[in-house]
Structure formats: C-alpha cells, structure tokens
Amino acid sequence: MKRISALLLTFYAMLCNAQTHDIASGKSSDYTIGELLLLGVTTGLLIFLTSRIITLRKIRKKSDEKLQSFIDITHNMLTPLSLIKAPLEEILDKEALTSEGASNLNTAIRNVETMLRLANTLINTGEDNKNHTLTHLGNENASSTEISNEKRATTDFRVLIIEADEELSSHLEQSLSEQYTVHITNNGKEALEIVQEYKPDLIISDMVLSSGMDGEELCTTLKNDIETSHIPIVLLIALDDKKSILKGLRTGADEYVIKPFNIDILKATLTNLLASRALLRRRYANLELNNPNECINCSTDIDWRFVDSVKKHVEDNMANPSFNVDVLCTLLNMSRTSFYNKIKALTDQAPADYARLIRLKRAAQLLKEQQHSITEVAEMTGFSDPKYFREVFKKHFKVSPSKYAKGEDQN
C-alpha cells in the first residue's frame, strides 16, 4: 500500500508541474496533459491489479488455514474411530452373541467403516488440493520420556512401539502383550536410545511422531546403522495413498500397515516378519547366502555385506590358529559387544561359534576332495589340535571326519 500511495503522489506532482510549465510558456498543454492522463490510467490499472492480488492472497491464506484446520480435525478422527472399530470386531469375533446382538454390532461396524472411508476421502482430497504433507496432531500432553512397564509375554520376542497417540499405544500394548514383551514410547529421538538398551526384535512406529523426529527419519537412521539395521520395522501410515506408502518404504521399512487397521492383520504381519527373520538367521547360520541377490528376506544390503565381510576375513585367515574374535573385531572396526550382538541377532550364534562353523564348512569341503589327511585338513582350517578337530567336526556333522571323507555323512 505504501508503494501505491507513492505512485499516486508522484503522478499528482507531475501533473501540477506540467500545468505550471505550460501556463508559464504560453504553449498548449493538450499533448503533455494527455500523456500524463495515459500515465494516470496505467498507474490506476496497476494499482487496481495490485490491490486485487493482495486481496486474493489474503483470501487464499484464510482459505488454506481453514482447510488445514478442517483436515487436521478429520485426521484426528481416524484414531478414535479405529479404537471404536477394533473392540467391536474383537467382541464380534470372540464373544458368544445373540443373533440380534451380532446384527447390531455388524451395523455399528459398517457405520464406523463408512465414517473412516469418508475421513480418508476428505484427507486425501485436502492432500491433493494443498500440495504439501499433512501434519498428524498427536497427544501433545503425553510425556515424551515415559516408557510403559514391561509386560511379560508368552514368547521372548521384544516389541518396541513408538506411537504419539496414548489411546492407540495403549490399545496396541494391550493387544500385543499376550504374545510379546512390549515397550512403549512416544518420542522418536529417545527411541534411538531405547533401541540400544532394549534391543527389540521388532519395531512398530507411526510415521508421524512428536519431539522433532518423525517415523521416516527414525526408520532411515536405524536402517543405516550397522548395529540396528537387522531389526524389522513396521510403519503405521495414516493415509491410504501411493505417495505416503512409497515415502514409508523408501526409508527401508520392512512392512507398513495403513490406519485404521485390523489388529489381527497387524498380528499376522508381525508373525510373518519374525518368521522371515528366523528363516534368514538359519540361512546365515548355514552359510547358504553367497550373493546379495539370494538375500530375499534382507531389509537392507547392510546385513548381507556385514556377514559376507565376516566370512571373508575368517577365510582369509583360515590357516592361522591365532586368529580369534578380538582380531576379527579389529578388522571390522567394531567393539566386541557390538560385534557379538550383531552376529547373535543375524545368526543366533556366538561369534566364536560362527567363525568355527566357517572353518568346519571349509574342512568338510577339503575332506570331500580327499587330497589331504585329517591332520593336514585340521591345520589348514586353523585347528592346531587334530583331536579337538575330530570332536567338534563330529559334533557338528554327526559323523567322524574319516567317515565323512568316505561319503558316509548323515545329511
């Protein structure tokens, strides 16, 4: 507005100066005044357009603010609606109901599903119109440092849940604690510290978290850290659209579940992930993976490269009986504790046992070739005591080295 006022004053001054000049000189002022009038019309048009643009921008800003507020309110409806639907489905599935009671529950569930579909449609429409990522408003009053009391489960698997919404996290804890040992936190940054101490077998995280770190950044950080890259991560995604799903998967997440979700589907997802990790551990332990293309259940290539480097270092030092875990840790630039935790998580074996297995596999190969005596094979694979070699070989392969060399193995 200041610039517009300045233009008007300038135009008025020019018009006055032009009239004074023409009167003093006695010349006709038609041309000069007409030229100034043209300038005035142009200036007026610019003033009108500028004013109109400013007005439209203010209207657009207010409209965007109202739309964002509406989207946030709708977005926050998803979790309460999910928490209504989940218990109703559980009652319908597990409780003995009359036909009328079952019919009423089905009616309630259908209406909740309709409301969920409408909410998702509204959010997705707002997403398309606004062209930016929605912000999920969690429970800001929840303590960012509080971790729930650990609940013992029927299995030894530990699950870390990172969820800002207190009601949803409580529902997840209640639903999963029968099968798993569950920890809860609502803080993405503190979750990184908890992972180091708690060492979960699986992580469930919302994409949108409070306290400065969202689920996307958290997942990326964990998947690029050699000490945590093997932990399966399930992301909870609020929007059922390709953009949000791809954003979640690009972080390296192993699975995603779209809100609102059925708790039984989430449980099945966790079971499948843990079963896949168990299969992968067996393949690592049996030295079955020879290239990254075979690692179909790996969440990242970091784990395969790590195991491959361990195998390579052991094989390169195969005949050296003084080569031990400490030397291996030095070569890998890892502490003994970190190395132990990583090998144990990937193979379910202690580092010394895994290194011994690599030596035994090589010894079995040499025995099959029948080019060397048992004592020579023991020395070539780092066993300085042939008697000890025979004991550990028989314990692993269930047959003595001599019989194995003759093809009498029991596999």
Question: Which residues does residue 293 pair with via DSSP β-bridges, in sequence order?
Answer: none
Instruction: Report the relative pairing of strands 233-237 and 158-162 from DSSP bridges.
Output: unpaired
Instruction: Give the pLDDT of residue 143.
Output: 34
Task: Please give the Cα distance from 349 to 340 (Å, whole number).
Answer: 9
234-265 b/e with 16+ CB inside 10 Å = b? bbbbbbbbeebbebbeebbbbbbbbbbbebee
Using a 10 angstrom Cβ sphere, with 0-12 exposed, 13-18 middle and 19 or more buried, the burial of residue 165 is buried
- Domain coverage including residue 345: 294-405
Using an 8 Å Cβ cutoff, are 267 and 175 in contact? Answer: yes
pTM: 0.61
**Is 114 within a domain?**
yes
**End position of a domain, from candidates 252, 282, 312:** 282
Using an 8 Å Cβ cutoff, are 136 and 208 in contact? Answer: yes
**Is 150 within a domain?**
no
User: Which residue is listed with tokens 């030596």?
Assistant: 359
Same domain, 253 and 365: no
DSSP assignment letter at 208: S
**Is 322 within a domain?**
yes
Task: With both helix axes pointing from N to C terminus, report the angle between 325-332 and 301-316 in degrees, rounded to the nearest 10.
Answer: 130
CATH number for 196: 3.40.50.2300
Instruction: Give the pLDDT of residue 138.
Output: 31
Same domain, 172 and 126: no
**Is 152 within a domain?**
no
Using an 8 Å Cβ cutoff, are 186 and 172 in contact? Answer: no
DSSP assignment letter at 294: G
Instruction: Give the pLDDT of residue 74.
Output: 60
**End position of a domain, from candidates 250, 282, 314:** 282
Same domain, 269 and 313: no
3-state secondary structure string across 233-264: EEEEECCCCHHHHHHHHHCCCCEEEECCCCHH
Vertex 287 angle, CA 284 and 288, to 5°: 90
Token code pair at residue 21 = 């000049």
Same domain, 232 and 204: yes
Instruction: Give the pLDDT of residue 56.
Output: 79
Calculate the CA 7 to chain-centre distance.
56
Give the chain's residues under pLDDT 50: 19-31, 130-154, 297, 299
Domain count, the chain: 3
Instruction: Report the relative pairing of strands 181-185 and 158-162 from DSSP bridges.
Output: parallel
Same domain, 225 and 339: no
Mind giving me the DSSP string for 34-83?
HHHHHHHHHHHHHHHHHHHHHHHHHHHHHHHHHHHHHHHHHHHHHHHHHH
Same domain, 176 and 257: yes
DSSP assignment letter at 293: G
Same domain, 6 and 126: yes
CATH number for 332: 1.10.10.60
**Is 318 within a domain?**
yes
Amino acid at site 386: P
